[in-house]
Structure 1
Amino acid sequence: MFWCRIEMGILVVFLLLGSVTARLTDSNQVPRKGTPSFIQPIENASAVIGRDAMLNCFIDNAQGFKIAWIRVDTQTILTMNENVISRNHRFYIDHNKLDRQWSLSIREVKPSDQGWYMCQINTDPMMSTTGYLEVLEPPQLIESGISPDLEVREGDRAILRCQAEGNPAPNITWMREDKRRISGGQRHGATLRFKRVSRGDMGAYLCMAANGIPPIVSRRIHLDVLYSPVIHINLQVVRASVGDKISLNCSITGNPTPSLYWEVNGKPLATDSPNHFLRKFRRQNGIFSNLQVLLTVESDRIVTYQCCGNNSEGKAADEVDIHVIERISYGEAPKVVESEDPPEETAFIQGNPWEFQDEQIPHIQSGKYQEYQSESSPGLPTNFHDNEPKPDRDWLFTKTSASTNLVTLSTTCLLAMSSLALFT
């Protein structure tokens, strides 16, 4: 009992000392001049991630009162008067007595800093006002929400996906890399849908995400459309004489790139034949082939040439019939029958199919004929005429030259007849 009384006495002494100390401390504070008040509400603030942010609290008659900044959602005291309570070194307080301003600053804001902040005065009852800090984030693509390069068959459905995050939420826009119009006109949203893809939809697409906070981010997605071969020969029916040359042009497209081969009357074309000269040129998703044919006396009356192609999606073929007729005039020079340039809608290869880098296909313009075999340009093999008698040099004349020779021959005949008449 004695020790209990001593302990109780010591406790009372400590309480009395504490009360006296509190009174002495209050007597050293700045006297309160009146009831404090907030001059204006806290203005909401926003800052881009990584930059500094500031919330301002304006108070009138704050002398003698304690001002604190508190994080609302966690009820964490950040500052008290001009002292920083939080252990987070990114928070600091700025007090401007002249403007009666208490500013809470946050260095290098993070997404976790977004939320409500309270400016509080320790009145009875407590007075407070709140402000919101928004942390802006540039768009970022969500890798798990982005489609890989896609391969589909023509006529099937296809969906391209692209997801992004940021604050504010990004807007997603689609466009073709080649600037062509997207079929269906759909350009906005996280998904790009094709009800029935066509070969015209094939290509690279760009998914772009933007929310007003730079930079704009994008991703390239390639759509590959598989389709069976499409073949076109410009000539369908040709009438030509023995000794004439015929140039056949065949274009084939498809995905995957198809293989191309020729047939004659239903049989594979013999590539070592002296009467044929074949060249192929590979282009994007297709092949362009030029076949030159020399008609001989052994040729059938009707010869059918067929250009064929196949890939994993199917087969296709196109053909031309050559009707071989006898030459009407003995003195008429052999001619070259050549197809016209392929129309644009059937030329699926890039650029002009007549413009080749390494060699030029001989071409007829304005009724003139370029010799296929010459010293200055590549042409037919030297054995092109091995099975035929060597033609006269007149065989290589232009059509214009052939007409001139006929006029000259007629003039010579007239002169000879005139001389014969004089002798008579």
Structure 2
Amino acid sequence: MQVLLGIFLYFMVYPDVSHQMDSGYYKYEEEQTSTTTTPGVPLEHTSLRGPYFDTTASKNVTALVGKTAYLNCRVRNVGNRTISWVRHRDIHLLTVSGYTYTSDQRFSCLHKPQNEDWTLQIKYPQKRDSGIYECQVSTTPPIGISMYLSVVEPITQVIGGPDMYINKGSTMNLTCIIKHSPEPPPAIYWLHNTEEINYDSPRGGVSVITEKGDVTTSYLLIQQAELKDSGKYSCSPSNADVASVY
């Protein structure tokens, strides 16, 4: 009876913790720090819950090349445990609490006292920084949550370029698409040669339609095309490179 009672208490004190080492993701229930019971009071009301992750945030983060990236890890009931960030590609310890443990000073952990957020900051990210990063808590055994960072460079393209031919008197329809942008460009400028196109010019018949989304599309429409409308047309998003057509 003593042996069986010992086994029962072990499973009451240490909840099930399963690990998926290939993905770096630890699935956990909770850490019980007290098993003292009071007559007539359920065990869950007298035990204290250990650290656990707020899993409502997205596990996929997209950042622009050269623009600071942030991976946020929110941990509840952290207590006196430490929070670490690890890069999976080379199993490299990047930060522990507020200290950086890598010679690459682009990496740092942002945290304010009494705050539950531990944010990995990566300055001047490059495409090579894409991959899995894990936020770990120093429980026994450790628990962690993985996030995937995609560092992308927006692509701007004018469909049908680089050379296009339009008949005189027809409607010119130039289509510009912007892909791989974390957010739609706040503004898109169209230029004719080196001058920004004025949609309210006396010429008339010039308009732009823009549809924003995961892929942003901007249509430049010029009715009754004339010889003077020939030349270089450029699509210039405010957060991506310029693309041109002739």
Q: Larger helix proportion, structure 1 or 2?
A: 1
TM-score bracket for the superposition, by shorter chain length: 0.3 to 0.5
Q: Return the index of the structure with the highest Cα Rg.
A: 1
State TM-score, norm by structure 1: 0.29
Which of 1 and 2 has higher RCO (CA within 8 Å, sep 6+)? 2
